[in-house]
Chains A and B, each alone.
Chain A
Amino acid sequence: MSAERTAPPVAYWVVFAALLALTALTVAVAAAPLGRWHTPVALAIAAAKATLVVLFFMHALHSTRLTRIVIGASLLWLGIMLALTLADYLSRPWALMADAAR
């Protein structure tokens, strides 16, 4: 099936260079005055890096449909957990913990 078909090794080096560049970018961007956009931007860069690793280092690009379904399923369930949990907490107008300062 697709066990023999993977990217030539040079692809690994290109992806590696891109990953390092994205890491430098995320560090640089942290120093920029982005206000409330810091988190979405950091997550977007991290997601891009993770996508590169999954597609090329983990050979997802050349894997079976079943494998890709499993990858999609894990993202789906993670998404459900994050979406519903944050929808709850982000829609509460009151403070999270009434905690006396130490």
Chain B
Amino acid sequence: MPANPPTLAHHFENREQQHEAATLAMWVFLATEVLFFGTLFTGYAVYRQAHAAEFTVGSEHLMTGVGAANTAVLLTSSLTMALAVHAARSGRPRMLALCLGLTMILGSGFLGLKAWEWYTEYREGLVPGSGFHLEPGPTPANARQVELFFVFYFVMTGLHGLHMIVGLGVLLVLLVRSRRYATGYGTAVEVAGLYWHFVDIVWIFLFPLLYLVRH
């Protein structure tokens, strides 16, 4: 066992059991997160089917190119995260640090693009509230329902962004202590990876459902 705090917690028989317990725990948490985001998706589904035309108008006001780019950025970050887990298991701390660093850069890039999107939408008067206004367009639309689309857009991408920020915090801790985690089972990195991939999956659904509404 290394001289640092041992990697095996005292209440486990061996590291394999610890690894199984930790990954199961994260999966159970992710199950709650599926339902957490799931309620937002369900609400979105209800109002989208009720106001398809207005939601299409709202969707067309989004920056689809930026959304697609962000999708690619997050998918790449999942790749680097998977490689980080592999590095941890192979006992390669420098490779682990590199992959964690890349994942963090990509994650930060995603948030940067998102912030720029939000700012642009704010300037265009698309933030729900007293300042919301819509240029009259080719499709007649009830502005109230278009505003509802943007309520869903900001809340869902906002909650997703919050999860990204938490994920970045976790990755930072792993990065700073990466030497400790590049051992055998790589449990800590694996568990962080599960969370990160889940946040990616949420975006995989958010992108087409918010940005690509067409009829």
Contacts and interface: CB of A to CB of B under 8 A. Distances in A.
Query: Binding site of B, secondary structure by majority: helix, strand, loop or mixed?
Result: helix
Interface string A1-28: 1011010010011001001100100110
Contacts of A95: 50
Interface of A: 1, 3-4, 6, 9, 12-13, 16, 19-20, 23, 26-27, 30-31, 34-36, 38, 42-43, 45-46, 49-50, 53-54, 56-59, 63-64, 66-67, 70-71, 73-75, 77-78, 81-82, 85-86, 89-90, 95-97, 99, 101-102
Contact of B200 (A13, A26, A53, A89): A53
B98 interface: no
B152 interface: no
B75 A19 contact: yes
A13 B83 CA distance: 9
Which of under 10, 10 to 19, 20 to 34, or 35 or more describes the interface residues of B? Answer: 35 or more
15 contacts: A6-B89, A12-B82, A12-B86, A30-B214, A38-B215, A57-B81, A58-B193, A67-B23, A70-B27, A71-B27, A71-B31, A78-B34, A89-B49, A96-B46, A96-B47
Interface of B: 16, 19-20, 23-24, 27-28, 30-31, 34-35, 38-39, 41-42, 45-47, 49-51, 64, 68, 71-72, 75-76, 78-79, 81-83, 86, 89, 142-145, 185, 190, 193-194, 197-198, 200-201, 204-205, 207-209, 212-215
